[in-house]
Amino acid sequence: MYGRAQKIIYAVFVIAVIILGWSLDNEYYLQLLIFIGLNTLLALSLNMLMGYAGQISLGHAAFYGIGAYVTAILTTTYNVEPILALPAAVGAAMIVAWIVGIPTLRLSGYYLGMGTLGFGMIIHILFREWSSVTGGASGFVGIPPLEIGPLIFDSRRSYFFLVWGVVLLSIIMCRRIIDSRVGRALRSIHDGEKAAAAIGVDTKKLKVQVFVLSAAMAAMAGFLYAHLIYFISPGTFNFVASIRIVTMVVIGGMASIWGALFGASLLTLLPEWLHAFSEFEMVVYGLILMSVMIFLPRGLTRGVIDIYYRYRKSHDK
Amino acid sequence: MLRVRNLKCFYGRIMAVKGVSLSVNAGEIICLIGANGAGKTTLLSAVCGLLPTWTGEIEFEGQSLKGLDPPAVVRRGISLVPEGRMIFPPLSVMDNLRLGAYTMYKKKAAEAVEQDLESVMTLFPILRERSDQPAGTLSGGEQQMLAIARALMARPGLLLLDEPSMGLAPMIVEKIMEVLEVLRSRGLTIVLVEQNALAALEAADRGYVFETGAVLLQGSADELLADKDVKRAYLGKDYGDFYDAV
């Protein structure tokens, strides 16, 4: 039954993506949906680390940035094909995650938060100050569009399908990991690291592995972002961006794959809708996030499911 | 099977176990009794690799456990049922059990794991009934059974139990001790750490009495049950007799 429900959800998701992709002609809406897709990837990547394994990262935008900058530098400065830059971008983020993860993931709780925060800041400063390579504070211009063989992703519609295809694959991959032996071990680390170790889970190794996976997914999002906008600047990958990813995970629902999608959607759409409030935009934005956390403390996904059950219960009586 | 020689365990500069030696033979049930802070749990943590700061010797089946991390110890065939059960509350009972078999994949043991699941669920039928429920919704006794079942999933040769009777009704304690007896008859060796000395000694073959980090007394379970000091200090019996005798 569980498997069937999953299949229906996947089917709905795929059909929704296809219908939206074909029917929408408005560039603005397509762009918005592409951004939701990229943010979903980011939220999904952090959710594996934070929601499932229980390890907080306040520097996740750094991996997003590494993915974007590596492909920008390779494709523009060195004229590498974008498709060849992809493994380099993702690989670079994985190597950095591995090197940083081994000492940092020994920390836990607030201290891990602090450690990753510091890491994020260092990478952000690197993007901003290493002007000869990264273009510095004014950004990196002239990134070419993404070409894969004969396919050129230079229209919004084609990019929409590309990004959501990657999102779908990532969701399937995460789902499979979570339902596997390794996924159970990840959740056990979240509940009790010592207990997990006592039953034979190599907690240190597993934490670094999930950190590396998470960095790879974030770098993938960064790669897609760079070839979408053709221009990147350090501000996109700063501390606030890291916090936004954390917020998406928490608002959407920790340890929930679809929660990443809901959280990313809400946080991408809210600022657009709230333009109407002009100078009060940020106030309303903050109030909405606060209300979600007060009334749906377990995030949108669990919250909506709980409300549904409560509703059904009250009707059964 | 397990041999501990002159074990000293440290928390920072504090020595919690001060030179303990003990041995466990294959097929035995051994109990370690003693009050809070006597060093029993510390000793188990050292054996399992959870506490790396110890000196002395710990040998399992003739090989030293020095420097092994907990997963390596589990792979050698030692499983711990930790104090306070430490099940994973949001995970289902089934997922908890499968986690217990985490180290089994290298032995290409998908089939063996299914067999083990069947066998622990026959041992504890309640776990079969509750297999889809989150483990946190189980009662204390059921959680303890789950913790034992989870430890068995790694196919240990030596099972270490830390206070399995903690917070449980006497009837449940009796049931758990019966299960240990069954497990022993299947060839498992068991070390039982207990404050409930009476229940532990009734189940065990031999026992060690701990006090402030050292072994105070050792002997067969019957000897210890009859010992005056043990009676006074841990069994709460014959208190008056003891005083009269003095």
Asked if residue A106 is part of any domain, the answer here is: yes
What residue has token string 């009269």? B244
| CB–CB contact A181 B88 (8 Å) | no
Query: Which residues does chain A have within 8 Å of residue B89's beta carbon, measured at their own beta carbons?
Result: 191
Lowest mean pLDDT among A77-86, A299-308, B112-121, B156-165: A299-308
User: Domain total for chain A?
Assistant: 1
Question: CA A232, CA A254: separation in Å to the nearest integer?
Answer: 30
Assess A199–B contact: CB distance below 8 Å, yes or no.
Answer: yes
Do B141 and B26 have their domain in common?
A: no
| CB–CB contact A199 B90 (8 Å) | no
Residue of B nearest to A189 (CA): B88
Domain boundary among B103, B122, B155: B155
Structure confidence by residue, pLDDT tens digits, B154-181? 999 999 999 999 889 989 999 999 999 9
Query: Which tokens hold the place of B168?
Result: 């449980």
Structure confidence by residue, pLDDT tens digits, B36-88? 888 999 999 999 999 999 999 999 999 999 999 999 999 999 999 998 889 99
A118 close to A59: Cβ distance less than 8 angstroms: yes
Asked if residue A278 is part of any domain, the answer here is: no
Assess A202–B contact: CB distance below 8 Å, yes or no.
Answer: yes
pTM for the model stands at 0.87
Q: How many CB atoms lie within 10 A of CB A47?
A: 29
Do B62 and B183 have their domain in common?
A: yes
User: In this model, does residue B238 exceed pLDDT 60?
Assistant: no
User: In this model, does residue B25 exceed pLDDT 90?
Assistant: yes
Per-residue b/e over B185-216, b at no fewer than 16 CB within 10 Å? eeebbbbbbbbbbbbbbebbbbbbbbbebebe
Structure confidence by residue, pLDDT tens digits, B11-20? 988 999 999 9
Domain boundary among B155, B182, B217: B155
User: In this model, does residue A206 exceed pLDDT 90?
Assistant: yes
Asked if residue A188 is part of any domain, the answer here is: yes
| CB–CB contact B98 A184 (8 Å) | yes
Question: CA A1, CA B83: separation in Å to the nearest integer?
Answer: 37
Residue of B nearest to A201 (CA): B71
Closest CA to B151 of B142, B161, B140: B161
Question: CA A240, CA A235: separation in Å to the nearest integer?
Answer: 9
Asked if residue A300 is part of any domain, the answer here is: no
| CB–CB contact A185 B99 (8 Å) | yes
Do B10 and B132 have their domain in common?
A: no
Identify the H or E element spanning B6.
strand B2-11
Question: CA A61, CA A272: separation in Å to the nearest integer?
Answer: 21
Query: By a Cβ cutoff of 8 Å, what residues of chain B touch chain A?
Result: 48, 50, 69-71, 74-75, 79-80, 82, 86-91, 95, 98-100, 102-103, 105, 150-151, 154
Q: What is the CATH number of the domain that holds B28?
A: 3.40.50.300
User: Mean of the pLDDT values across residues A307-313?
Assistant: 83
Question: CA A32, CA B86: separation in Å to the nearest integer?
Answer: 45
What pLDDT sits at residue B108?
Answer: 66
Query: Which residues does chain A have within 8 Å of residue B83's beta carbon, measured at their own beta carbons?
Result: none
Do B100 and B165 have their domain in common?
A: no
Alpha helices in A274-298 (DSSP H): 281-295
Structure confidence by residue, pLDDT tens digits, B175-188? 999 999 999 999 99
User: Domain total for chain B?
Assistant: 2
User: In this model, does residue A1 exceed pLDDT 60?
Assistant: no
Closest CB to B86 among A184, A192, A202: A192
Assess A188–B contact: CB distance below 8 Å, yes or no.
Answer: yes
Range of the domain at B13: 1-77+158-246
B127 close to B116: Cβ distance less than 8 angstroms: no
- Beta bridge mates, B103: none
| CB–CB contact B79 A199 (8 Å) | yes
Asked if residue A288 is part of any domain, the answer here is: no
What pLDDT sits at residue B29?
Answer: 95
Radius of gyration for the alpha carbons in chain B, expressed in angstroms and rounded: 18
Query: Which residues does chain B have within 8 Å of residue A192's beta carbon, measured at their own beta carbons?
Result: 86, 88
| CB–CB contact B91 A197 (8 Å) | no
Query: Which tokens hold the place of A149?
Result: 């063989």
Domain boundary among B99, B125, B155: B155
Closest CA to A292 of A249, A257, A261: A249
Do B214 and B143 have their domain in common?
A: no
User: Mean of the pLDDT values across residues A280-289?
Assistant: 83
User: In this model, does residue A317 exceed pLDDT 70?
Assistant: no
A248 close to A126: Cβ distance less than 8 angstroms: no
What pLDDT sits at residue A45?
Answer: 96
Do B162 and B245 have their domain in common?
A: yes
Query: Which residues does chain A have within 8 Å of residue B99's beta carbon, measured at their own beta carbons?
Result: 184-185, 188, 196, 199, 201
Asked if residue A131 is part of any domain, the answer here is: yes
Question: CA B220, CA B226: separation in Å to the nearest integer?
Answer: 10
What residue has token string 């996904």? A301
Do B59 and B164 have their domain in common?
A: yes
Query: Which residues does chain A have within 8 Å of residue B112's beta carbon, measured at their own beta carbons?
Result: none
Contacts of B75 by beta carbon, 8 Å cutoff, 6+ apart: A200, B103, B106
| CB–CB contact A194 B86 (8 Å) | yes
Residue of B nearest to A202 (CA): B71
Query: Which tokens hold the place of B203?
Result: 């189940």
Top-confidence residue, B68 or B234: B68
Query: Which tokens hold the place of B122?
Result: 């026959």
Do B145 and B166 have their domain in common?
A: no
ipTM of this predicted structure: 0.80
Query: Which residues does chain B have within 8 Å of residue A201's beta carbon, measured at their own beta carbons?
Result: 71, 99, 102
Closest CA to B197 of B80, B29, B32: B32
Do B6 and B73 have their domain in common?
A: yes
Q: CA distances (Å), B211 to each of B8, B40, B221, B235, B246, in order?
A: 14, 9, 17, 15, 22
Do B69 and B179 have their domain in common?
A: yes
Query: Which residues does chain A have within 8 Å of residue B52's beta carbon, measured at their own beta carbons?
Result: none
Coil vs helix vs strand at B193: strand
Residue of B nearest to A195 (CA): B86
The length of chain A, given as a count of residues: 317
Do B99 and B120 have their domain in common?
A: yes
B191 close to B2: Cβ distance less than 8 angstroms: yes
Closest CB to A185 among B90, B102, B150: B102
Range of the domain at A105: 2-239
